[in-house]
Amino acid sequence: MEAIFNIDIPNFTLDKEIGRGGMAAVYLGEQQQPKRPVAIKIVSPQGNDPKILEDLKKEGDTVAQFSHPNIVTVYACGVVDHYYYLAMEILAGGDLKQKIDAGLTELETFNIMIDMAKALEHSHKRGTLHRDIKPENILFHDDGQAVLVDFGIARAGDAVSEFTRVGAVVGTPHYMSPERALGKEIDERSDIYALGVVFYEMLMGKKVYEASDTFAVSYAHVHEPIPDLPKDLSKYQPLLNKLLAKNPDDRFQSASQLVHQLKKYVRRLHPAHDTTHSFIPISDQRNQKKNWLPLVIGGVVLGAAVLAGGFFMGKNKGAIEVNTADLTPTQLVEMSKKLQAASSFFNVENFSQAESLYEEVLTQFDCHEADARGRMKILNAEKYNKIIEACD
């Protein structure tokens, strides 16, 4: 694909290239009115087929109508000089492939799964399949919120895109559902299968099926059994089996069902393990489990010493920047009671009460409190982002 800096896209200017693949390249750019930085994807279909360009434009228009925190925000799209362009928000937190390579905790894995399941829930309810779920198409904001991007081969409703029909883009074999690999009709359960493949990769750090060529990978998705997870992750085997069932009828039948099930798993995890967001590999967590007990005991002893000594560093600021060092023993006890109550509300799915209490803990007591942060991010990502921004 030749350089495109001489393309004149109305209301946009192009800067440096930040990514490339196949027929597409992504550039940093700027929208003139309203003035804001953007990422601009440029696609040049082989032969500049006008029908393909028109289909791309329709698909871009479909995504531009989405309004969801876990789906990329599209500002504009169109065709200029036989090039298709799509201007979207900049996501500076890297992609999921990078995070998998660095290693993910179990809680981080489930938070990402919930973000993506919600994104699919939103698009599926509006009649659009993504059809290319993979780690490279899951990007992140700086705060760690996952965002689904690249609906370039999405299909709206029952429309058949010429772009897909001619085979210009057919998705990624490693994440293809059995029915898609066989060329059968697909529905939202195919996207759910692909997300299941991503789930396995987040847990294990490798693809669910590895093979020497595309045909062998596709064959494995159709015929090979679902791999067994290691003993320490076996509690997630039923979830994996349902996500990767060969027969679509045996999978979750909707993204809404999946969101509901994932939240049950999250309630069993401990957000306190996710305080650093340092993406500790699960394999490292296994090696470190034997060292957790002394750390926990030490933490309890330290906490008792703080309470007994009545550490108090000035007046309670009553603002988001307060932390436990600023709280009196009475306030620490009050915060603990609110956390216990919030956890109880969360476990019985009274999410509005839980959200209110976690917000109170973060804004009036300690904005760094790990349990409150972890749960608040699940319950209300927008409010969580505002609180953390004010805190950090």
* Cβ within 8 Å of residue 348, ≥6 positions away: none
Of the residues 132, 191, 326, 371, which is catalytic? 132
* Cβ within 8 Å of residue 353, ≥6 positions away: 342, 345
User: How far is it, in rounded angstroms, from Cα 11 to Cα 8?
Assistant: 9
Encode burial over 243-271: b for 16+ CB neighbours within 10 A, e otherwise.
bbbbebeebbebbeebbebbbebbeebeb
Q: Is 322 helix (H, G, I), strand (E, B) or coil?
A: coil
Apex CA 131: angle with CA 236 and CA 221, to 5°?
A: 55
User: How far is it, in rounded angstroms, from Cα 100 to Cα 76?
Assistant: 31
User: How far is it, in rounded angstroms, from Cα 272 to Cα 84?
Assistant: 46
* Cβ within 8 Å of residue 21, ≥6 positions away: none
* Cβ within 8 Å of residue 215, ≥6 positions away: none
Neighbours of 130 (CB within 10 A): 28
Neighbours of 160 (CB within 10 A): 9
Q: Is 392 helix (H, G, I), strand (E, B) or coil?
A: coil
Stretch (H or E) spanning 16: strand 12-21
232 is a catalytic site residue = no
Q: Is 60 helix (H, G, I), strand (E, B) or coil?
A: helix
Q: Which residues are catalytic?
A: 132
